[in-house]
């Protein structure tokens, strides 16, 4: 087998290097997202539990902090894009708003209608929001 043959996968001919690069990018995105999630959750818990803000207001503030954190780190480390930062930030924030909207709907359904603790709803919403936002950010914000 030649070096060229070794870099091509058996699945559709995509080079192994490309798959590995995509995997590294997803891992970096997830790690950056973890820092944003930690900031988001800590801020939400503080604002909602300690300061008594309404869950939707606490969510909007905490998510905005997480979005800003994630944009900076993703621009530097995940997607390595430093051009058109204002446009990219506005797109990234718009994608972040989809997370706020999705979480809003989940709060309405699970907290307001079904009585689930908002802390659990917020924590439970994160994997779904992460997956949606990765796809949108990769295809639009950092394309």
Q: What is the mean pLDDT of residues 114-139?
A: 90
Residue pLDDT, tens place only, 2-38: 454 445 555 556 788 888 888 888 899 889 989 998 9
Q: Is residue 11 part of a domain?
A: no
Residue pLDDT, tens place only, 104-122: 999 999 999 999 999 999 8
**Phi/psi zone of residue 52: left (φ > 0), alpha (ψ -120 to 50 degrees), beta?**
left
Residue pLDDT, tens place only, 39-50: 999 999 999 999
> pLDDT category, 142, cuts 50, 70, 90?
confident
Q: Is residue 2 part of a domain?
A: no
The alpha helices in 46-114, defined as continuous H runs, are: 55-73, 85-106
Q: Is residue 76 part of a domain?
A: yes
Residue 137 has pLDDT above 60, yes or no: yes
Residue 61 CA to residue 94 CA, distance in Å, equals 15
Per the structure, how many domains does the chain have? Answer: 1
pTM above 0.85, yes or no: no
| DSSP 8-state class, residue 53 | -
- Cβ atoms of 73 and 65 closer than 8 Å: no
Q: Is residue 134 part of a domain?
A: yes
Between the two ends of the chain, the Cα-to-Cα distance in Å is: 35
Provide the pLDDT for residue 12.
59
Average pLDDT across the chain, whole number: 87
What domain range is 126 assigned to? 16-141
Q: Is residue 7 part of a domain?
A: no
Q: Is residue 101 part of a domain?
A: yes
């Amino acid at each position: 087998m030649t070096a060229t043959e070794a870099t091509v996968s058996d699945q559709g001919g995509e080079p192994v290097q490309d798959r590995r690069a995509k995997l590294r990018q997803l891992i970096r995105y997830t790690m950056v997202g973890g820092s944003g999630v930690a900031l988001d959750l800590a801020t939400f818990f503080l604002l909602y539990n300690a300061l008594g803000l309404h869950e939707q207001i606490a969510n909007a503030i905490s998510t905005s902090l997480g979005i800003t954190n994630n944009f900076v780190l993703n621009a530097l480390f995940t997607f390595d894009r430093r051009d058109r930062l204002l446009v990219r930030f506005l797109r990234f924030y718009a994608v972040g708003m989809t997370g706020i909207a999705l979480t809003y709907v989940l709060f309405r359904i699970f907290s307001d209608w079904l009585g689930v603790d908002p802390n659990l709803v917020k924590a439970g919403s994160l994997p779904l929001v992460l997956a949606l936002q990765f796809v949108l950010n990769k295809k639009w914000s950092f394309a």
